[in-house]
Every structure is written in C-alpha cells, then in structure tokens.
Structure 1
Amino acid sequence: MAWTILLVAALFETAWAIGLKYTVGFTRVWPSVWTLIALLASVLLLSLAARTLPIGTAYAVWTGVGAAGTALLGILLFQEPATAARLVCIGLILAGVAGLKIVSP
C-alpha cells in the first residue's frame, strides 16, 4: 500500500510542478490554488508512504517519478525539446526508480 501512496504522491508532485507554469508566477488565482493543493497533497502523501518505506528510497522515488513525469509533460504540453539524449536520460531516471523498488522492502 505504501508504494501505491508514494506513486500517487509523485503524480501530485508532477501536477504541482506543471501547475507552476500555469500560475505565471502565482499571478493567476485558480491555477495557483490548484498548484498549492497539489503541492500539499504530494507532501502529505509522501509523509504517509515514508511511515513504512525507508525515507531515502521514498524521497528518491518521489523526486524521480516527479522529475520524469514533469519532463515528459513538458515535452507534450509545452513543446519542450524531445531529443534522443533527453529521452534516454528520462529513461535512466525511471530505471533508477524501478531499481529502488526492486531492492527495497
């Protein structure tokens, strides 16, 4: 169950990171509200997952999935470059996350 909670936390992390783009420096009210809600949900769910998972593993997975998700959505939503090198690096992040899942309790 902790791994599921951690994955949801990482998805919320991706949501708030992408939300930052839509807030335009927190000058737009509703995107700012939704971004802050996603941020709070992300951190709260991370703290719940960290009750049973090692904090180093939980934090690394949380940031890794969040970073990879944000990079992929940046490519899809904001036409950021999708170079082969960038995609390989995103794949390496996800491989590291999978490795942590395999070797962790």
Structure 2
Amino acid sequence: MSQNTGAGWGLLALAIILELSATILMKVSGGFTRLWPSVFMFVCYGASFTLLNFSVKHIPLGVAYAIWSGVGITMIGIVGHYFFEERLKITSLLWMSFILIGIVGLKWSES
C-alpha cells in the first residue's frame, strides 16, 4: 500500500462524484429510453470504478468501498428527495445517518 494516501482520498472523492452522476443519469435515462443520458451513465460508472480501483492502491479496499458506496447511497437519497421529489421517510434519514456515522468512523480508523 502506498504512503500517498492524499492521492487515494482524492481519487476516491472523484469516484464518488462520478458514481453519483451516473446514478442521477440512470434516473434521467428513463430506463434506457433516452440515448445520451444512457451513454453518459455508462461512461460515468466506468470512470467511477476506474478511479475506485486506483484509490485502493492507497486506501484499504474495505474502507474505500464502504465509503464509496455509503456516501453514494446517502447522497443519492438526498438528490432523489430534492431534485426528483422522491419522499424520504424519517426512518430512511435515520438509517442514512448511521451510514454517515460509520463512514466517519472508518475515516478516523485510517488516521
């Protein structure tokens, strides 16, 4: 594992942004009925997985994947609520908060 963990966290952050973008595009593609959102969805997912792959050279795999998926789940829940008018139950918000607490714990364990 490399000592350049700053680069690993930067790559992971970009991977999360691309995963969030891809998931938004999934919704916008309308079940593959719209060509360009569908194409860009695949591009963003591919780029996200590529950056995640590079980040695990610097960050343990379990930590990187848990943060990538946990932040993605939480952010897409928020985006769905505010941009796609999807209802978020209070229990959903509670469980998302537990995900975020776990992510913070994982980051602290890496320090």
Question: Is TM > 0.5 for Structure 1 vs Structure 2?
Answer: yes
Report whether the alignment pairs 1:103 with 2:95.
no
TM-score of the pair, normalised by structure 2: 0.87
Q: Which residue among 47, 58, 67 is the counterpart of 1:52?
A: 58
Q: How many pairs were matched up? A: 105
What pairs with 1:26-105 in structure 2 (closer than 5 Å)? 26-105=32-111
Contact 1:13-1:39 at 8 Å conserved across structures:
yes
Structure 1 stretches of 4+ with a deviation exceeding 2 A read none
Q: Match of 1:72, as an amino acid?
A: I
Q: Which residue among 3, 12, 22 is the counterpart of 1:6?
A: 12
**Hey, what's the Cα distance between the residues in 1 that align with 2:96 and 2:14?**
19
**CA shift for structure 1 position 82:** 2.8
**CA shift for structure 1 position 83:** 2.7
TM-score of the pair, normalised by structure 1: 0.92
RMSD of aligned C-alpha atoms? 1.2
Query: How far does the alpha carbon of each residue in 1:32-51 deviate from its partner, in whole angstroms, 9 at most, with x for none?
Result: 12111110111011011001
Query: How far does the alpha carbon of each residue in 1:40-97 deviate from its partner, in whole angstroms, 9 at most, with x for none?
Result: 1110110110011110111111100111111110101111113322222212111111
Query: Unaligned 5+ residue runs, structure 2?
Result: 1-6
Query: Unaligned 5+ residue runs, structure 1?
Result: none
Contact 1:11-1:65 at 8 Å conserved across structures:
no
**Hey, what's the Cα distance between the residues in 1 that align with 2:13 and 2:63?**
12
Percent of counterpart pairs with the same letter?
35
